[in-house]
Structure 1
Amino acid sequence: MQKDTDHTQAAETPAGVCPFAKAAMSSRFTDPKGCPVSSDAEAFDPFAASYQADPAEVLRWSRDDEPVFFSPKLGYWVVTRYEDVKAVFRDNRVFSPANALEKITPFSSEADAILKQHNYGMARTLVNEDEPAHLERRRALMFSFSPEELLHHEPMVRRLTREYVDRFVNKGSADLVNEMLWEIPLTVALHFLGVPEEDMGKLREYSIAHTVNTWGRPTPDQQLKVADSVGKFWNYAGKVLEKMREDPSGNGWMEYAIRRQKELPEVITDSYLHSMMMAGIVAAHETTAHATANALRLLLEDKMTWDRICQDASLIPQAVEECLRHSGSIVAWRRVALEDTEVGGVSIPKGGKLLIVNSSANHDERYFEDPDSIDIFRDNASEHLSFGYGSHQCLGKNLARMEMCIFLEELTKRLPHMQLVPDQDFKYLPNIAFRGPENLFVEWDVSLNPEKTNPEILATHEAIKIGSPSKDDIYRSVLVDQVRHEADNVIGISFKNQDGSEFPRWSPGAHIDVMVGEYTRKYSLCGYNTDRKTLDIAVLREEDGRGGSKYIHDSLKKGDALKIKGPKSNFRLDEKAERYILIAGGIGITPVLTMADRLAELGKDYCLHYAGAARASMAFLNRIEQDHAGRFELYPKAEARRADLQSLVATADANTRIYVCGPDRMIEELEQLCEPLPDNILHFEHFTAKHETFDTSNDKAFELVLANSRMVVTVEPGQTALGALKAAGVDVESDCEEGLCGNCEVEVLEGEIDHRDNVLARSEKAENKRMVTCCSRAKSRSIKIAL
């Protein structure tokens, strides 16, 4: 595969039809629309020990079969797949955060009376406030979270971390949660807010009650104690805020907010400051404490990864990002529908409450390759949803990243030989939002502490870069293990990791980015995905191409060291269909062959149709004959054989999937033939870019109206929509930036698009509902998009 483009059309559920009725008929419950609730949905309990221990695994059934379901126990619609969770986060016009801080377990009248006695009056905050008030306040208060301002806190975080590790480094054992991870983020949070030193102790004492109050399931007796602590927390936070008003000249966020209040009294009100004071402590404390505890457990359980970051501290930011994806501290968040709508093809009524499960989305194999493994070279790890997405994305995300990097650097430097205490029982405080172990017991041989023989290691540290690691810095170092002839003008190349380790598992249709010389090119993996030690690609020499394939053919040899990115996939195989038609043209055989391998393994009904110029130029013929005997047809042009695509498509029904990779003319013909069929039948990937030339001389400026963010962004001539959005500070994912992968696609609500991508199908372009922002432009003066 020279260049890849994905088109995977999702199955749609007709409006008003229950998509899971067949599986749900045995249920005793129905959802608010009267649709039967499946037995799995009926049994779902977010407070169960199994869910607290591994929420993503417990919800695997949902991601696979019922990605949006109604939970009778909660009274919530539960959303579990990546794209659906992201869509809900993105659209705060339809999905309000108003219930984000609503008690999941209503208090008793006695507990409510206690809160009333304390004059508890928690108001809206950045977490649960609707537009336009939210964005106006967010913009007014963002300064303290800028990279420059966050760097001012680095010395304090390093000093605290050093002091806490000093206390136990020579003991040989520790509970990292109670002796370090719980205390430091809280102290950092209080310093960040600007809380006076003398008030930190009391606020520490009260802060945990807020979590139990909002997201937990306290018993009636516990509710009374929690209510009293929450009330005291509220009142004490108010007193501290008043003390800060007397002299708001410090660098704390609350002090900055007090100063801003004088400029914007209607935007930053007294009640708002009081509520943010209390919510800010919890938000900056527990999320970071739990996330670091989760990360350390993961890394210590994966010795190879732990050893890697001990040996190379520059990998720590990548490890932090991958741990945030794999086991972030925020399990799920909440929204409420402001109108009748749909999520994942399921109708959600106005007023419907949604539990959007970030932790499940981060393990969705439709988006992340081998999502249950730890892979610090995963170059899309930062696309996790642990911090949310869109205009309500966590403001403090980069403060948390900085703390986690410093914690890991100190521990890997001073205690690289640290291990988890065997057979410990990890326990979690039952709540639907935050997750982290209550204890993390570790041990080590003090005599092996590196600083005993090399005290100089304490004098240096890695430079902190605020934000997520750049994709440009994330790659695998590999060696060329073999270069072999596959067909005329086609070579096969095998890669192995330089350190001899295994590659992550990859799915049929996946690809890697090969970085060699001055070129970066995408190639489909075409080996056997059961071989974890080797990655195989095939490269067609293109004399009229852009030079990458010729350089590889002429220069690459066994033993060469180079970099790759991936594996990752934009071309996924739906394994639930009954019958498959696989079509490959030329080098397009590479992803299609791995799909055939998988279908053979599953015992599915499939046939592989492979067209090429001549047998001598068609790669993998021996393998196809060996592994897919009786399941393939060859169409060498030199033998006057041509695939009858019309006849192939005519055999397709609703239970058939057609997968094709090949020349544009082949894909365009199939698109035309499949137009009368349901959208989910045809899936394709281009193996070359179209290299279509667009006349850019008449490009005019246009406006992007961001419906959810209430922003207007101007795209100048010569500038891409993606570039304009990023320049405006709007988070938009991107990868190839050539209109090939579709990662930067946005939903279009109004306006006409000048489509210049190689991603969307003809029917999708005609619908005018999606835009690939890295290359496409507006035909109209402005377009409205769902961001």
Structure 2
Amino acid sequence: MSETIPTERGSACPFNHGAQANPGRTGSGCPVSRRAAEFDPFEDGYQQDPPEYVRWAREQEPVFYSPKLGYWVVTRYDDIKAIFRDNLTFSPSIALEKITPTGPEANGVLTSYGYAMNRTLVNEDEPAHMPRRRALMDPFTPEALRHHEPMVRRLAREYVDRFIDDGKADLVDQMLWEVPLTVALHFLGVPEEDMDTLREYSIAHTVNTWGRPKPEEQVEVAHAVGKFWQFAGKVLDKMRQDPDGPGWMQYGIRKQRELPEVVTDSYLHSMMMAGIVAAHETTANATANAMKLLLEHPQAWRDICEDPGLIPNAVEECLRHNGSVAAWRRLATRDVTVGGIDIPAGSKLLIVTSSANHDEHQFADADLFDIRRENASDQLTFGYGSHQCMGKNLARMEMQIFLEEFTRRLPHMRLSAQRFSYVPNTSFRGPEHLLVEWDPAMNPECNDASVLKPRSAVRIGEPSAHALSRPVVVTSVSRETPDIVRVRFASPDGRPLPRWTAGSHVDVECGATGISRQYSLCGDPDDAGAFEIAVLRETESRGGSAWMHDNVKVGAQLRIRGPRNHFRLDESAKKLILIAGGIGITPISAMARRASTLGIDYEVHFSGRTRASMVLLPELAELHGERLRVYVSDEGTRNDFTALNVENGTQVYACGPVRMLEALQEASAAWPDDSLKVEHFESKLGALDPANEHAFEVELKDSGLVVVVPANQTLLEALRKANVDVQSDCEEGLCGSCEVRVLAGEVDHRDVVLTKGERQSNTRMMTCCSRAAGRKLVLEL
């Protein structure tokens, strides 16, 4: 590709036709495909549903050039995350550039207002960006955001009070625009001005930057943007007279005294204007999108009404499935390859984050709206890396509180018939109106005043996997051995259960005991109608297995979490040796079934005290025939692990008693590295003892931050305190959820997830328990 890409929208094709002619794509020899040539983000299809509009690209042509826009368009998750990760190659400098150049008259209007929008946190390059981000970040940490929660709750209640007896409302006009704006102004320290005027200003800013105003509209938009600029300047001047106020802008003014070369006058003025839009409009749109999505999925709405504990993850799934940020823009600073496509220096990129959030390679059944989706917080709506949205946790908090208020006071709310419209632009979206209706006579507070009692504090930050429970009903219980029962679950409403893979487990909540226990799934992974587990009554039960045996009957309603898989089968292995002892056969049985389905060479080794105690044995014999080897203690047979033939390309999976696993670990010393993978259900971690620990420093390569981890704090806790998202679940070093990539430094591994070889490679660690062996680590975060 020898020609430089054009920089003006609508310019000629950037390809060298002679070098890359491909008549099969457009018939003219131009390698821009017909679909790419037709791409127009201002069409109604993109405005209504950006991920669906670019589905063809995500599946067939994930990186393409748009002649109409003059941009390269990127649609897949991995490519977009890589672009966010490398903010030197992919400069954010054009993020606030007008995507549609305006005419001289509109430009003159802006000049008349002294409009001089400069760099902000959104569009600033290094080395200036990170010093400013670090200087201004403290008010955005979860700890600092907590004192805003009472105000958000008060506003949510007051606004619902205004229309709860009306039986109908436009949620956008009557609540979801004004409350986030009020919160944004409060956070920034800006006096509450005329809401309608600020709404006009905010919309004008969006249209001016990311929209395509018609020539006759450009002047009107320019006047509104100019007035917005002057408003921001006047408020900032007033703040300078009293810089000790509580807002973020006052915090910035104080920081200017301390770091005048970092926090400059022009920077503060630009951030004032951009901050009002960023802190307000995206949250207003995100909440409107979420309410629309939830009410379009009545079962999901009922689920969060009945179980408010699902709300944090429901917020995350709403942000993934239908977020308020559809796309961002970047500028290639050098020749680079994205998704196998060569892109020249100077190219402009439209990275469609909403498409990435529907990428099947990252999200199973990506188009399915699942409020219990475990990796929903992998969504890129907030961006990623050093330019990730600083206000993400303020937005999460507001959305959770709004959903709590609606679900407890208006659980019978439903969408009214309507056609949804959006402000035409490439990047920010939410319905302009959201009409809902309900029967006021059915308002819960009419008969139950307790509905209005205060709720417990919301979780600020990424949601915990512990909250993702789902109801199931027991459809069968069979006693397989004197000490083992086999239990089959299904959805109460007959809907399919989530797909699972061999090695997966679920957590079962054991009634009112307050405990939950993990049980491997032992049924058929292809059966979407049910989950099956087998439960051994432990002689020294901590309460879980005894409760399961004594209380689980056909028709019983239970709650489970998962399925999750941290014992994943390598389906590319040349050969599989599957070893189980006692109840450890449960995950191994699913692996054997999967190996048989795939045609992988495999063998199953099953040990037990007596044949009568070996659950699933008849079924295994029928399914696997001579591939099954059985060892029974009271028959005098025992598996000799040292006799196993483990060659390169063979993977050994084992689950069973500790003594068996220890013997396997010893035998595996003679096998190829990382041949053995085992499943653990108990952690040997004790409480963190600061007297025996040392503090260390962690550099976050993608985020540009340096975090100090004190001796009395886990790495996971320190990352959360620094406003960095890391998924977690068990927080005992058992599950692998909190794994991060290590780029430099030696790790003191304390988990039971990684193999010996994986530990020695020093490229991964579990943030919940492992620490630095030395004084510093560099992580890919």
Same fold (TM over 0.5): yes
What secondary structure, in the 3-state scheme, does the structure 2 residue paired with 1:565 have?
strand
Q: Does structure 1 retain, via aligned residues, the 8 Å contact 2:182–2:192?
A: no
1:698 and 1:463 map into 2 onto residues whose CA distance is 35
Q: Does structure 2 retain, via aligned residues, the 8 Å contact 1:482–1:557?
A: no
Q: Does structure 2 retain, via aligned residues, the 8 Å contact 1:512–1:522?
A: yes
For 1:443, the aligned partner's letter is E
The answer as to 2:100 corresponding to 1:105 is: yes
1:144 and 1:62 map into 2 onto residues whose CA distance is 40
Tell me what 1:568 maps to: 564
The answer as to 2:455 corresponding to 1:462 is: yes
Tell me what 2:288 maps to: 293
1:78 and 1:668 map into 2 onto residues whose CA distance is 53
Change over 3 Å in CA distance of 1:221–1:580 after alignment to 2: farther
The answer as to 2:186 corresponding to 1:186 is: no
With 339-348 and 746-755 compared, the bigger mean Cα shift is at 339-348
Q: Does structure 1 retain, via aligned residues, the 8 Å contact 2:680–2:752?
A: no
Tell me what 2:522 maps to: 526
Identity of aligned residues (%): 54
Query: Of the candidates 222, 239, 242, which is equivalent to residue 227 of structure 1?
Result: 222
Tell me what 1:397 maps to: 392
1:683-722 matches, cutoff 5 A: 686-688=678-680, 702-715=696-709, 720-722=714-716
TM-score, normalised to structure 2, is 0.77
What secondary structure, in the 3-state scheme, does the structure 2 residue paired with 1:613 have?
strand
Q: Does structure 2 retain, via aligned residues, the 8 Å contact 1:290–1:436?
A: yes
What secondary structure, in the 3-state scheme, does the structure 1 residue paired with 2:743 have?
strand
Change over 3 Å in CA distance of 1:525–1:246 after alignment to 2: same
Give the Å deviation of 1:208: 0.6
2:131 and 2:346 map into 1 onto residues whose CA distance is 25
The answer as to 2:288 corresponding to 1:282 is: no
2:541 and 2:36 map into 1 onto residues whose CA distance is 52
Q: Does structure 1 retain, via aligned residues, the 8 Å contact 2:515–2:544?
A: no
Change over 3 Å in CA distance of 1:334–1:661 after alignment to 2: farther
For 1:400, the aligned partner's letter is A
The answer as to 2:501 corresponding to 1:508 is: yes
Give the Å deviation of 1:477: 5.2
CA deviation string 1:375-399 (max 9, x = no partner): 4444554454332334433232333
Tell me what 1:749 maps to: 743
1:58-73 matches, cutoff 5 A: 58=53
1:572 and 1:723 map into 2 onto residues whose CA distance is 27
1:718 and 1:251 map into 2 onto residues whose CA distance is 30
CA deviation string 1:653-675 (max 9, x = no partner): xxxxx886435798999999888
2:366 and 2:740 map into 1 onto residues whose CA distance is 24
2:590 and 2:106 map into 1 onto residues whose CA distance is 60
Q: Does structure 1 retain, via aligned residues, the 8 Å contact 2:479–2:486?
A: yes
Gaps of 5+ in 2: 1-19, 656-660
2:737 and 2:466 map into 1 onto residues whose CA distance is 16
Change over 3 Å in CA distance of 1:785–1:203 after alignment to 2: same
Give the Å deviation of 1:298: 1.8
1:343 and 1:620 map into 2 onto residues whose CA distance is 49
Query: Of the candidates 420, 444, 447, which is equivalent to residue 426 of structure 1?
Result: 420
Tell me what 2:8 maps to: none
Q: Does structure 1 retain, via aligned residues, the 8 Å contact 2:696–2:709?
A: yes
Q: Does structure 1 retain, via aligned residues, the 8 Å contact 2:516–2:544?
A: no
Tell me what 1:16 maps to: none
1:689 and 1:169 map into 2 onto residues whose CA distance is 49
Query: Of the candidates 240, 246, 264, which is equivalent to residue 245 of structure 1?
Result: 240
The answer as to 2:283 corresponding to 1:272 is: no
Give the Å deviation of 1:370: 4.9
1:649 and 1:61 map into 2 onto residues whose CA distance is 41
With 341-350 and 486-495 compared, the bigger mean Cα shift is at 341-350
Give the Å deviation of 1:271: 0.7
1:521 and 1:345 map into 2 onto residues whose CA distance is 45
What secondary structure, in the 3-state scheme, does the structure 2 residue paired with 1:495 have?
strand
Change over 3 Å in CA distance of 1:776–1:427 after alignment to 2: same
The answer as to 2:554 corresponding to 1:584 is: no
The answer as to 2:277 corresponding to 1:256 is: no
1:739 and 1:347 map into 2 onto residues whose CA distance is 42
Q: Does structure 2 retain, via aligned residues, the 8 Å contact 1:369–1:569?
A: no
Change over 3 Å in CA distance of 1:66–1:311 after alignment to 2: same
Change over 3 Å in CA distance of 1:407–1:699 after alignment to 2: closer
1:137-216 matches, cutoff 5 A: 137-145=132-140, 150=145, 152-154=147-149, 156-158=151-153, 160-198=155-193, 200-216=195-211
What secondary structure, in the 3-state scheme, does the structure 2 residue paired with 1:293 have?
helix
TM-score, normalised to structure 1, is 0.77
What secondary structure, in the 3-state scheme, does the structure 1 residue paired with 2:741 have?
strand
Change over 3 Å in CA distance of 1:539–1:92 after alignment to 2: farther
What secondary structure, in the 3-state scheme, does the structure 2 residue paired with 1:514 have?
strand
2:66 and 2:669 map into 1 onto residues whose CA distance is 40
Query: Of the candidates 434, 437, 442, which is equivalent to residue 440 of structure 1?
Result: 434
The answer as to 2:654 corresponding to 1:662 is: yes
Q: Does structure 1 retain, via aligned residues, the 8 Å contact 2:120–2:271?
A: yes
CA deviation string 1:559-594 (max 9, x = no partner): 67765321234567899x9x9966533377655765
Q: Does structure 2 retain, via aligned residues, the 8 Å contact 1:203–1:236?
A: no
Give the Å deviation of 1:239: 2.6
Tell me what 1:328 maps to: 323
CA deviation string 1:693-752 (max 9, x = no partner): 99x999766543333445444556686544554455543333334444433333333334
Query: Of the candidates 383, 387, 392, which is equivalent to residue 388 of structure 1?
Result: 383
Tell me what 1:783 maps to: 777
1:302 and 1:237 map into 2 onto residues whose CA distance is 40
Q: Does structure 2 retain, via aligned residues, the 8 Å contact 1:390–1:731?
A: no
1:693 and 1:463 map into 2 onto residues whose CA distance is 30
2:425 and 2:267 map into 1 onto residues whose CA distance is 26
2:194 and 2:97 map into 1 onto residues whose CA distance is 28
What secondary structure, in the 3-state scheme, does the structure 1 residue paired with 2:204 have?
helix
Change over 3 Å in CA distance of 1:166–1:69 after alignment to 2: same
What secondary structure, in the 3-state scheme, does the structure 2 residue paired with 1:747 have?
strand
Change over 3 Å in CA distance of 1:181–1:71 after alignment to 2: same
1:360 and 1:574 map into 2 onto residues whose CA distance is 29
Give the Å deviation of 1:556: 6.3
Change over 3 Å in CA distance of 1:202–1:178 after alignment to 2: closer
CA deviation string 1:300-334 (max 9, x = no partner): 12223323444555654444343233322122334
Gaps of 5+ in 1: 1-21, 651-657, 676-681
1:85 and 1:741 map into 2 onto residues whose CA distance is 28
Change over 3 Å in CA distance of 1:347–1:692 after alignment to 2: farther
Q: Does structure 2 retain, via aligned residues, the 8 Å contact 1:27–1:42?
A: no
1:504 and 1:273 map into 2 onto residues whose CA distance is 51
Tell me what 1:15 maps to: none
Q: Does structure 2 retain, via aligned residues, the 8 Å contact 1:93–1:708?
A: no
2:665 and 2:233 map into 1 onto residues whose CA distance is 65
How many residues align? The count is 738
Tell me what 1:735 maps to: 729
For 2:226, the aligned partner's letter is G
